[in-house]
Amino acid sequence: MDNSHRFRDRSEAGRYLGEELRQRGYAAGADVLVLALPRGGVPVGYEVSRALNALLDVFVVRKVGVPGHEELAMGAVASGGVNVVNDDVLDMLRILRAMFEVVARKELQEVERREKEYRGEKARPDLKGKTVILVDDGLATGSTMLAAVRAVRLAGAERIVVAVPVAAEQTCDAFRSEVDDVICAITPEPFHAVGIWYEDFSQTSDEEVRELLRKSREEVGVEMK
């Protein structure tokens, strides 16, 4: 695809991405699961899941910020209660692991609240032995996706694929040493920001996330267990 292409919206981006994944040989199977990072990744992930006839679910990630300097991540928490710790930041600022745990517990509550909001009473999927395709609407720094990758690995995924419609080329390349496959549909230069590569980059609502998850379950014909 031409690196100057602008997607009409996240749905169009997801259709492009789904076709590229299909051409790479990814297809439906009991071991394939599309996990979208909410909220913006979900409309993209829905179209990917349709192209592959695979079930869509969400994977919620929250940054664990340094108290008083919340923009600086000392790690992240993700779906399933998985902690990803940035030891370099802890060591540099001489932060005790106990402090990380305190902040992480608070962020984990928010992860669980959002999961319940999106999934209701349905259990989160078991990732052990699965090919997990992690989808977002784009990658700038990639920090949130990196936390998701490491959390999915800790949860037992057998194969991890990062798939996005648009990314900074250097960020896309950096993931090649982290996962089994990386698919970035376009890598424009200069990149600037994810949103400028969409004509419509309006916020995805919680209601839309819930509806797309429901539609995916119906279309694939599989109820989450």
State the CATH number of the domain containing residue 17: 3.40.50.2020
In b/e form, how buried is each residue of 5-16, taking b as 16+ CB within 10 angstroms?
A: eebeebebbbbb
Whether residue 34 lies inside any domain: the answer is yes
Token readout for 207 is 């209601």
- Name the region of 81 (left: φ>0; alpha: ψ -120 to 50; beta: rest): left
Domain that holds residue 77: 1-219
Whether residue 140 lies inside any domain: the answer is yes
Residues 28, 49: Cα–Cα separation, whole Å: 9
Whether residue 121 lies inside any domain: the answer is yes
User: pLDDT per residue over 215-225, tens digit each?
Assistant: 998 988 654 44
Rounded to 5 degrees, φ, ψ at 175 are -75, -15
- Among all chains, which residue has been given the structure tokens 């994944």? 21
Whether residue 225 lies inside any domain: the answer is no
Q: Are 166 and 185 in contact (CB under 8 A)?
A: yes
**pLDDT given at position 223:** 47
Residues 9, 92: Cα–Cα separation, whole Å: 41
Element (H, E) at 48: helix 41-52
Token readout for 127 is 């990732």
Whether residue 224 lies inside any domain: the answer is no
Pairing of strands 82-85, 69-78: antiparallel
For residues 157-172, give the mean pLDDT.
96
Query: Quick one: pLDDT band at residue 159, thresholds 50, 70, 90?
Result: very high
Q: Are 224 and 123 in contact (CB under 8 A)?
A: yes
User: pLDDT per residue over 61-84, tens digit each?
Assistant: 988 989 998 878 888 888 888 888
pTM given for the model? 0.87
- What is the average pLDDT score of the chain? 90
Residues 205, 197: Cα–Cα separation, whole Å: 20
Could you give the maximum distance between any two Cα atoms of the chain, in Å? Answer: 51
User: pLDDT per residue over 105-117, tens digit each?
Assistant: 999 998 989 988 9
In the chain, the number of structural domains is 1
Whether residue 16 lies inside any domain: the answer is yes
Whether residue 59 lies inside any domain: the answer is yes
**pLDDT given at position 54:** 92
Q: How many CA atoms lie within 13 A of 69 on its CB side?
A: 9
Whether residue 159 lies inside any domain: the answer is yes
